[in-house]
Structure 1
Amino acid sequence: MPLSSRSTVRRRTLSTAGATAVLALALSACGSSAGDHSVPGMDHGVTTAGSSPSNPTPSTAGGMEGMPGMNADDGLAAEKNGYRLEAEPAALPADRPTPFRFTVVGPDGKPVTDFAVEQTKTMHFYAVRSDLTGYQHLHPTMAADGTWTADLAALQPGSWRLYASFTPAGGPGKGSDLVLSRTVTVPGQAVDTPLPAASGSATADGYTVTIQGDPMAGMAHPLTATITRDGRPVTDLQPYLGTYAHISAFHEGDQAFAHLHPETRAAGGDHGGPALTFHAELSRPGNWRTFIQFQTAGQLHTAAVTLHVS
């Protein structure tokens, strides 16, 4: 082959290899994900096309799988990895306590009855209205046949999303943290409450909770919650669910769920505070309504803070 022809072939080969490398890097970046850290804890809901109260579809924001807001473990699906959240009622009564019964069906089509303990409980159950008001964090009881009962406090009219957070202790999902959810309707005249502006702090029962940090969507980031009372640091926090505080968060607009993991576990006694560090992975940009639960003198307190995520 003439020298000029061999040089042309070599240039084409190098060009093709370079393009292949660039494509591989792009695909690798698009494939990165925020990770799965949903462990078990008020109405701004958006329902995507094809979803329904009995079979909701995870909300997405366009783009590629694995990018912030895309296909994250956000708790918006009723089924994942072969596990399915089943419940009969599509509507619940308003203004009075009511039990909500459900089962978790495994990949074999049978109710799951073997669950691992996570933060001292085998099931964490959450309820929040579409405007992110009415937050409830419950620990249901399970019957021998795998039927769970969550005793909900009175619900105001509107659309509610109910989340079950659990970890199978056996089977193909053993050790995997899962959050599944379904929506229910509470009949009556629904009046939405505007989401409070992002401020980083809130008060509850005389306590002030301030959250510091600059979370970015789809990235792990530490947040610090500091608790004070009358301007003085609180140092008598009691253990609650194995740590000194529990934080769960819900995204404005689609109710995507996130659990913020404490960096340290409670050592015992009422010696926690005033500063508590959490591992946060929030999948979407925008506002998140964040609920901080902590205990003093045997009383549980819940403060709600609006955080803005870049």
Structure 2
Amino acid sequence: MNTGLKITAFTAALAATFGTAYGVGKGVDPVVGGEQTAAHDEHGEARTSETGEGRGHGGHQTAPAGGLQVSEGGYTLALETSRITARNGTKLRFSVQDENGRKITAFEREHGKELHFIVASRDLTVYRHLHPTRAADGTWSTSADLPTAGAYRAFADFKPAAKDAEGVTLGADLAVSGTYAPAKMPAPAGTAKVDGYEVTLNGGLRPGKSGELSLEVAKNGKPVTNLQPYLGAYGHLVALRSGDLAYLHVHPNGEPGDGSTKPGPQISFTATAPSSGSYRLFLDFQHEGKVRTAAFTVEAGKATVSAEPSPDKDAEESPSHKH
């Protein structure tokens, strides 16, 4: 069996990876345990989409999970570069368009940014949290380090500056050409090592219900008690569901300067999993002037216990935090 497959066209990349991913995604329910949908609000709680599409367990009306649609609520994520070559410094360009195809130029700032842009490989071994810049005409651009070929998903998380507008997370497919070798998602573990730091995860995701996740940061065996704010918080957490890459973006309980939230070593989050299944968690934290990413695999509905840490090089490197 060949260890690599040369992908030279967008459709080839999709066929090689997306076929399997989409097949898995269709077998995962959008939400369980209630009438809430898999989308999220700014506090990490599930929020109901206005579309009301689909049905969850028990016949309840549900809506698609966050990031599964390229268009939602009258907005569309339009990638100008939907196929690129695996290399450092690749330029990505995109826009958010309204229902008439016009580029949106007015956004509400949330957590220090008008728009949060995430790129992840379909096998969830590469993760990039990017900070694009917006031109006057509404075109966003950023450079990205995508070192491996294959199928990726790009997410735009934003809130339009319009009356009564709600937060929206859109997702679009991105293909990276080159020599493709599928990777296996790391097994669940309660600890992750990155750049000399060890992060311990306690708690777990609960399908359709709010649950608390606590992450503790240590360096050289000593708790880190002087974390620095990053995007207005001491930690920034994104969860992606294996298979269809349903997106759950949560934020910490508390914020710097509120009089009660300490700068480490613990960072606490409240999150709701859209369904049972495997998820990949990506925690961004800043210390000594550098942002690092710790990655975990968790099973929704099962508590996470500490185990042998497994470093994830592609998720942890500083290129994942381009400004």
TM-score w.r.t. the length of structure 1 is 0.77
1:220 counterpart residue number: 210
Q: Which runs of 5+ in 1 are unaligned?
A: 1-28, 41-58
Letter aligned with residue 32 of structure 1? E
Bigger relative CO (Cα 8 Å, ≥ 6 apart): 2
Matches within 5 A, 1:154-303: 154-171=146-163, 174=165, 176-267=166-257, 272-303=263-294
**Offset at 1:66?**
5.5
Instruction: State the one-letter code of the partner of 1:294.
Output: F
In structure 2, relative to structure 1, the CA distance for the partners of 1:60 and 1:132 (3 Å cut) is farther
Secondary structure of the 1:301 match is: strand
Question: Aligned residues: percent identity?
Answer: 35
2:15 matched residue in structure 1: none
Q: For the residues of structure 1 that align with 2:107 and 2:264, how far apart are their CA atoms? A: 31
Cα distance change on mapping 1:290 and 1:31 into 2, 3 Å: closer
Contact 2:70 2:76 in 1 (8 A): yes
The answer to whether the 8 A contact 1:34-1:66 is kept is no
Structure 1 residue 97: Cα displacement: 1.8
- Equivalent of 1:113, from 105, 121, 132? 105
2:309 is the alignment partner of 1:306: no
Does the 8 Å CA contact 1:34/1:220 hold for their aligned counterparts?
A: no
Rg (Cα) greater in structure: 1
CA contact (8 A) 1:39 1:165 kept: no
CA distance in 2 between partners of 1:197 and 1:259 (Å): 22
CA contact (8 A) 1:30 1:65 kept: no
**Bigger strand share:** 2
Distance 2:218 2:33 in 1: 42
Q: In 2 relative to 1, CA 183–243 (structure 1 residues): closer, same or farther, beyond 3 Å? A: same
The Cα offsets for residues 36-92 of structure 1, whole Å up to 9 and x where unpaired, read as 42559xxxxxxxxxxxxxxxxxx989757767xx53432111000111111233311
Aligned-residue CA RMSD (Å): 2.6
- 1:197 and 1:99, CA in 2 relative to 1: closer, same or farther beyond 3 A? same
CA distance in 1, matches of 2:73, 2:146: 32
Aligned to 2:313: none
Aligned residues of 1:132 and 1:195 also touching (Cα < 8 A): yes
User: Per-residue deviation at 1:101?
Assistant: 1.0
- Counterpart residue type for residue 234 of structure 2: Y
Indicate conservation of the 8 Å contact 1:219/1:281, yes or no: yes
Cα-to-partner distance string for 1:169-203 (whole Å, 9 max, x where unaligned): 115x62x1111011121112211221111112211
Choose the corresponding residue for 1:135, options 127, 143, 147: 127
> Which structure 2 segments of 5+ residues have no match?
1-31, 44-52, 302-323
Q: Where does structure 1 differ by over 6 angstroms across 4 or more consecutive aligned residues?
A: 59-62
